[in-house]
DNA sequence: CCCTTGACTGTTACTGTATAACATAATTTA
DNA sequence: TAAATTATGTTATACAGTAACAGTCAAGGG
């Protein structure tokens, strides 16, 4: 039997897909991206990325930390925060401000500032392209004379699957 | 280059203005709005709103709490959080996710979900109308089949005054 | 090959943010 | 006034994030 055609990568978090393939692929790409940037994807860092990749949802630093401890890594907060900070700096993960939590990036290597779509029912988080939104923020800000350097865009609501499940 | 001057109330946080008048006005309107909604603006709640109104910047719950204690109110976290939650529910204050902090609303009573413009130099926070931005978020989300219920838009950068002060 | 250097990991200890749970007091409603 | 509701005060604890320092590991130069 053949696996279904891979969905457009933008709907990844909201669709059934071959997730082990999706993870494996992203880990491999992370390895390459880190190499290109002269950064080292060490065992802890790699494991943290794997943990984040297990679900398409955001995990708190302490959730990650607990898993690390179980795997024999250090189990004190700085261990998790340092690895998470590294992944965010390298563009391999994102921080979701609303949740005080972290999520693996699904489009690494494409320097971007996405909009996060957070499902309030199943907690899945997807990245939507932020281009048009940034332009709108620019417009609104320039009317007040404000110079935007970075924007945070997070939408709460229901993902496609949960719109049917919840009414 | 200069942008045309926007209506005064939108630049409130970023311009010199008669702030005691601005506070007094907002407190009075809060009283009315709460009344209309059948909510009680009790002494603690009112005091918290006054504290938030003192500056056009976001305050952490514990900053608010310290002030409350000095004024003879309870000085344990739930006292502050409950009052802050009330103000947010009633649309009299907003939570700024990026800062884990709260700010008095400058346009209460006009059910809205603004974009926050956060100055990284002077910490002032202004509310910009979110209309066009929400439309852009809607568009991006609907492409993924996501139903948006609420959006968080926060821009970091420099306010007009600080653009001159900082280079 | 050994030594120096810098980067990474581990640990302690601490600050800051937020909530659960329960007791008490005030207000509304019956 | 009594009961129900809403609000406040307090204790205790969970969750989020950082500073500082000690040990470890992986180059790179002699
Ligand atoms: Zn997947
Ligand atoms: Zn991404
Ligand atoms: Zn003012
Ligand atoms: Zn507002």
d(CA B154, CA A154): 9
pLDDT at residue number B6:
45
Q: Chain A residues within 8 A (CB-CB) of chain B?
A: 10-11, 14, 97-98, 100, 115, 117, 119-120, 126, 128-130, 132-133, 135-137, 139-160, 163
Q: Is the CB of B64 under 7 A from strand D?
A: no
SS3 of residue A49 by DSSP:
helix
d(CA B47, CA B9): 23
Q: For residue B12, what pLDDT band results from cuts at 50, 70 and 90?
A: confident
**pLDDT tens, position by position, A70-84:** 999 999 999 999 999
pLDDT at residue number B54:
94
pLDDT at B3 over 80: no
User: How many angstroms separate the CA of B77 from the C1' of D8?
Assistant: 12
The answer to whether A64 and A80 have CB atoms below 8 angstroms apart is yes
**pLDDT tens, position by position, B105-138:** 999 988 789 999 999 999 999 999 998 999 999 9
Give the pLDDT mean for B82-91: 97
**pLDDT tens, position by position, A131-164:** 999 999 999 999 999 999 999 999 999 999 999 8
Q: Which residues contact A34 (CB under 8 A, 6 or more apart)?
A: A40, A41, A90, A92
d(CA A22, CA A16): 11
Q: Is the CB of A40 under 7 A from strand C?
A: yes
Q: Is the CB of A76 under 7 A from strand C?
A: yes
pLDDT at residue number A167:
64
pLDDT at A5 over 50: no
d(CA A75, CA B69): 37
Mean pLDDT computed over every residue of chain B = 91
Give the pLDDT mean for B13-20: 89
Share of chain B above pLDDT 70, in %: 93
Search chain B and give the residue with CA nearest A136. B133
d(CA B19, CA A167): 46
Cβ <8 Å between A160 and B144: yes
pLDDT at residue number B165:
84
SS3 of residue B153 by DSSP:
strand
Search chain A and give the residue with CA nearest B140. A128
Cβ <8 Å between B14 and A117: no
- What is the B3 CA–ligand 3 centroid distance (Å)? 22
- What is the B86 CA–ligand 3 centroid distance (Å)? 22
SS3 of A109-143: the string is: CCCCCCEEEEECCCCEEEEECCHHHHHHHHHHHHH
pLDDT at residue number B109:
85
pLDDT at A112 over 90: no
pLDDT at residue number B61:
98
d(CA B34, CA B36): 5
Q: Is the CB of B76 under 7 A from strand C?
A: yes
Tokens of A123: 């907690």
Sort strands B115-119 and B93-96 into parallel, antiparallel or unpaired: unpaired
Give the pLDDT mean for B67-79: 96
pLDDT at B167 over 80: no
Computed on alpha carbons and rounded to an integer, the radius of gyration of chain B in Å comes to 17
The answer to whether A53 and A26 have CB atoms below 8 angstroms apart is yes
pLDDT at residue number A13:
86
Cα distances from B124 to residues A83, A109, B22, in angstroms, run: 32, 34, 16
The H-assigned helical ranges of chain B are 8-11, 19-36, 43-53, 61-70, 77-89, 131-143, 160-165
Sort strands A93-96 and B125-128 into parallel, antiparallel or unpaired: unpaired
Comparing A59 with A10, which gets the higher pLDDT? Answer: A59
Q: What domains sit in chain B, N to C, each tagged with a CATH number?
A: 10-166 (1.10.10.10)
Q: pTM here?
A: 0.91
Share of chain B above pLDDT 90, in %: 83
Q: For residue B11, what pLDDT band results from cuts at 50, 70 and 90?
A: low
pLDDT at A7 over 50: no
Cβ <8 Å between B140 and A133: yes
Q: Which of B16, B119, B133 to mutate to test the interface with A (most CBs of A within 10 A)?
A: B133
With CA atoms as reference, report the closest residue to B154 among A60, A84, A96.
Answer: A96
Give the pLDDT mean for A43-71: 96
């Amino acid at each position: 039997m053949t696996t279904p055609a891979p969905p457009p990568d933008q709907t990844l978090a909201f669709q059934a897909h071959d997730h082990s393939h999706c993870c494996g692929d992203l880990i491999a790409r992370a390895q390459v991206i880190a190499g290109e940037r002269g950064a080292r994807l060490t065992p802890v860092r790699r494991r943290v990325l794997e943990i984040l990749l297990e679900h398409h949802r955001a995990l708190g630093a302490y959730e990650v930390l607990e898993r690390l401890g179980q795997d024999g890594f250090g189990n004190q907060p700085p261990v998790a925060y340092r690895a998470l900070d590294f992944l965010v700096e390298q563009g391999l993960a994102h921080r979701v401000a609303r949740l005080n939590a972290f999520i693996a990036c699904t489009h690494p290597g494409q320097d971007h500032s996405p909009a996060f779509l957070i499902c309030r029912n199943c907690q899945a988080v997807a990245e939507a392209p932020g281009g048009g939104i940034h332009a709108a923020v620019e417009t609104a800000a320039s009317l007040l004379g404000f110079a935007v350097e970075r924007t945070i865009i997070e939408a709460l609501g229901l993902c496609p699957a949960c719109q049917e499940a919840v009414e």
